[in-house]
Structure 1
Amino acid sequence: MASIRVALAQLNFRLGDFKTNVALIADAYERAVEQQADVVVYSELAVCGYPPEDLLLKQQFLDDARAAVEEIAANTSNAVAVVGFPEVEGECLYNSAAICYQGNIKGIYRKQLLPNYSVFDEKRYFTPGASAGPIIKIGGANIGVSICEDLWFDEGPLDHQVSSGVGLAISLNASPYQRGKDSDRASTVIDRVTRHEIPVVYVNQVGGQDELIFDGSSFVVDSQGELVARLPQFEESVQVVDLEVEECGSGDLPVIVVSRSEQQKKPIPEKRIAEEEEEIAEVWKALVLATRDYVNKNGFKEVVVGLSGGVDSSLVAAIAVDALGPERVHGVSMPSRYSSQGSKDDAAALAENFGIDFETISIEPGYTALTNMLEPVFEGHQTDLTEENLQSRLRGVLLMAMSNKKGWLVLTTGNKSETSVGYSTLYGDTAGGFAVIKDCPKLMVYELCRWRNQQTSATWIPEASITKPPSAELRPDQTDDQSLPPYEVLDPLLEAYVEQDQTAGELISRGYDAEIVHRITRLVDLAEYKRRQSPPGPRISTKAFGKDRRLPITNQYR
């Protein structure tokens, strides 16, 4: 048996910022070398960040990526660095891993299985690799490289690698977070370990990238299927682990032979396993990371939230404070004649509890002016939804004016239940730059608020915001259940229709009321045009609106 010390570099890259990414990679390499690592493993496309999308169609981007990986290689010493990058050869583009050692790129592995589903469309850009090699040979142990999807299916390169004497598999990943994904990854890797009886090192990136959240949670499973290391979720970490790898001869794959010092290695802790979070805590941390990275990576200093005193805006403000600190968050109450005193008080209390800047701007003068302007045009028409939407759009105008004047990013407050059925005002409450809870159903919104309050002895989110009947407060005595079924009925129905793709007939056969099913599915279908014009927001479910679910707006199929 050969003892191999592997460093897992779980890093938060900035997409397209090669200078920063090279520095992150170099720093992690130095830390790994100090701990006498034999191999340092980074995540998929680490050099440029993931997913680069159509930047991959720009030749200069690809040239810069190549220059970056060559710079990384030039600064390597006696530890192997395995770094993901986009590789061009001839007319083909590959999702590759550079094997860097002693100042050079010694070999390149090319990803074979390209995902083309859900949020992934790698076949738009990449050509599949044809070889399961090269193999890295260190002290008699053979190490095989794979990239993300390669490990998820039996027809991946691992079978060929094992038949060629590989005794340790390392996997570079850019695997986005969704609820339950962490256990899926672990079960997949354990299945591979059980089948091949070799240890697997799984390295994932961390950080927010537009609508995707990468949770890290990199881990190592030994040849017996035992978890021997797990890095924390939602934060950067570099960790080394010692693995006993069976020595074996090499088969038909090319081999990169690595010499190493026989100097005795300093001991490291045998097991460092980060605690698993409960699911609601995972979701909270995911939303906090997504918000922080979207704001910071796009160069915003501060954010603004319209505070209605309701549960949705309270949750968004709380997430923003945890992500950025109270000094970077501004809350604005914009009451109308229909706003209750309780709601105004709850908005002010929330701002005070979290220590954020708070302003109150009544929309009454603007609403009166607009209705007077429109009175000649509206003559002969009854007051209806139009006047309600005017109020919401006025609030959007005020928030965007503050954004323009002060450079604040507007965080919108719509949840997935409302977004699904179009229970929102286009250019009103959808106006903004980042939709923090757009993939959170209403019942989850309540759960997140309760969880956040339980983390401290004080009640930071006012209890009244959580317990009062939800209302847009755009007309007298308005509540959500006048327009929608109770959320206890609506949310499971929407999950089945949107995330599980069940038909109206299947929903009715499950016991849902036929009238409700037909009304809600029709609302979901009709609201596609609104969703296309809404801001991006973090994906936490198996199917979020956006890349996960691509439907035409002009569509007669029901």
Structure 2
Amino acid sequence: MKIAIAQMNSTPGAFDATVSAMAAYGRRAEELGADLLVFGAPVLMGPDPMGLAANEAYLLDATRALGALAEQIGVPALVPYTSNITGVPTYDVAYVRDGAAVPISLTSMLDAIGPGSVDAVARGIRERLDADARLGDAGGQAARLIDPAVIEVGGAHVGVALSLGDLDAFCAGDLDADVICLMPVDGYDTDDEMTSLAPAVSDGCFVPEAADADAWLAVAGASGAYEDMVYCGGSFVMAPWGELAAAASSFGEELLVCDVDVRSEGPLAEPVAPPAYDRATLLWRSAATSVRDQVNKRGLSGVALVVDGSLASAATAAVAVDAVGPLRVHALVWAEEDALADARELVRNLRIRDVDELSARGVEVAAEALGGDGEEGVVSSLVETRLGTLAAAGELLALSCA
């Protein structure tokens, strides 16, 4: 079979634009003869729709978006989304084919229960939600409804997983699949190398999982920032014996298409070398991606920040310039003596042209007039207030060194 992975960046809630982009990937995948198209977890609704999954109007829009996608896409596709069919926001995956979008959670429960009552299905859903509630949800994200599942696509058994932990069911032999489609809900974590996806393969990650599951791995990552979570791309397809058949770039949008021979025992004729894992580079690019998407997805003009001669403000300014370019950065210079010279030099070196300077003495006088006697907290509050005013007036994203 031929599997396609759409490594996308999107704006959750902008359903018309998102569906249009997803349908375009679908047409390209169909032209290339793909049997299955896999989308990253946050593409349609984000990794955590910030409580919007409890909003009936939002859910209706999302349902309509899935329906519109089903009408426009000609290749079977897996589309993660968040539903509220049980009264609690829950993760799910829609299997889109033949003009319809079918929730895998429902089909999995029906398959497990067999022909029977709807009450039994509802009871199974309630039991899952009760278990999730007992585990706790400190992060406030949606609970995961579905267990890892297996569906049939073109005669092959395809496993569906939403987290790295879901692979355990396949590795332990609880479920058998020819291909496992992993669509991680969680983004990049600098303390968990595997969340970088393809670069982690260079250090041996995912190889034991593919071997234990005795299945091909098709790992679909998104590329971009979704609120405070960043996805760094790196989608890939791995053979059961650990060779990479295909890999996408980090921090880029692309359609990855790969032939998968579930009967082959290897080796691959032309394996792909995994990209190197560089934690510092991934961290920097994640920070820049976060700033860029926060600006662009909110429709802002650029970034406003304070440059005070410290290392922290220098790093923040450099990330901002890398993210949106020097012409979209507004620097508020505020420092004393040698630090002021350093701040001015940094602004020049980064080619930031939109610059305001605050008189350090003037800020101290203002703080004293407010009864602060020049205390650092009052001074910092005045600077932050000035930064907020600049950001609001220029429709800019205010960044803090914190």
TM bracket, shorter-chain basis: 0.7 to 0.9
Q: Name the residue aligned to 1:212.
A: 229
Tell me how far 1:28 sits from its aligned partner: 1.5
1:236 aligns with one of 240, 249, 253:
253
- Whole-Å separation in 2 of the counterparts to 1:404 and 1:167: 53
- Whole-Å separation in 2 of the counterparts to 1:174 and 1:215: 13
Deviations 1:222-272 (A, max 9, x none): 02122222222222221111111139xxxxxxxxxxxxxxxxxxxxx9455
Letter of the structure 1 residue corresponding to residue 290 of structure 2: A
- Whole-Å separation in 1 of the counterparts to 2:288 and 2:370: 42
Calculate the TM-score normalised by the size of structure 2. Answer: 0.81
Residue 132 of structure 2 is aligned to residue 122 of structure 1: no
Q: Name the residue aligned to 2:343.
A: 347
- Whole-Å separation in 1 of the counterparts to 2:13 and 2:70: 19
Q: Name the residue aligned to 2:215.
A: 198
Tell me how far 1:118 sits from its aligned partner: 7.1
SS in 1 for 2:78: strand
Deviations 1:117-144 (A, max 9, x none): 6747433xx5x337834x2231x43323
Q: Name the residue aligned to 1:396.
A: 384
Number of aligned positions between the proteins: 367
1:360 aligns with one of 357, 362, 372:
357
Residues 299-318 of structure 1 mapped to structure 2, 5 A cutoff: 299-318=299-318
Q: Name the residue aligned to 2:96.
A: 100
Q: Name the residue aligned to 2:166.
A: 151
Identify unmatched segments of 5+ residues in structure 1: 248-268, 415-558
- Whole-Å separation in 2 of the counterparts to 1:396 and 1:99: 48
2:152 aligns with one of 136, 144, 152:
136
Tell me how far 1:102 sits from its aligned partner: 3.2
Q: Does the 8 A contact of 1:321 with 1:329 survive in 2? A: yes
Residue 39 of structure 2 is aligned to residue 34 of structure 1: no
Calculate the TM-score normalised by the size of structure 1. Answer: 0.60
- Whole-Å separation in 2 of the counterparts to 1:189 and 1:237: 22
- Whole-Å separation in 1 of the counterparts to 2:386 and 2:153: 63
Letter of the structure 2 residue corresponding to residue 404 of structure 1: A
- Whole-Å separation in 2 of the counterparts to 1:204 and 1:292: 19
Q: 1:181 to 1:32 in 2, by over 3 A?
A: farther
- Whole-Å separation in 2 of the counterparts to 1:273 and 1:174: 26
Q: Name the residue aligned to 1:172.
A: 183
Tell me how far 1:90 sits from its aligned partner: 6.1
Letter of the structure 2 residue corresponding to residue 19 of structure 1: D
Q: Name the residue aligned to 1:411.
A: 399
1:25 aligns with one of 15, 22, 25:
22
Q: Name the residue aligned to 1:497.
A: none
Q: 1:412 to 1:137 in 2, by over 3 A?
A: closer
- Whole-Å separation in 2 of the counterparts to 1:76 and 1:317: 43
Q: 1:42 to 1:404 in 2, by over 3 A?
A: closer
- Whole-Å separation in 2 of the counterparts to 1:370 and 1:88: 50
Letter of the structure 2 residue corresponding to residue 174 of structure 1: V
Identify unmatched segments of 5+ residues in structure 2: 109-127
**CA-atom RMSD in angstroms:** 2.9
Q: Does the 8 A contact of 1:363 with 1:391 survive in 2? A: no
Q: 1:393 to 1:132 in 2, by over 3 A?
A: closer
Residues 541-556 of structure 1 mapped to structure 2, 5 A cutoff: none
Tell me how far 1:59 sits from its aligned partner: 1.3
Letter of the structure 2 residue corresponding to residue 413 of structure 1: C
Letter of the structure 1 residue corresponding to residue 29 of structure 2: A
- Whole-Å separation in 2 of the counterparts to 1:157 and 1:62: 34
Most deviating of 5-14 and 273-282: 273-282
Q: Does the 8 A contact of 2:171 with 2:213 survive in 1? A: no
Q: Does the 8 A contact of 2:78 with 2:94 survive in 1? A: yes
Q: Does the 8 A contact of 1:146 with 1:157 survive in 2? A: no
Tell me how far 1:86 sits from its aligned partner: 2.6
- Whole-Å separation in 2 of the counterparts to 1:69 and 1:31: 19
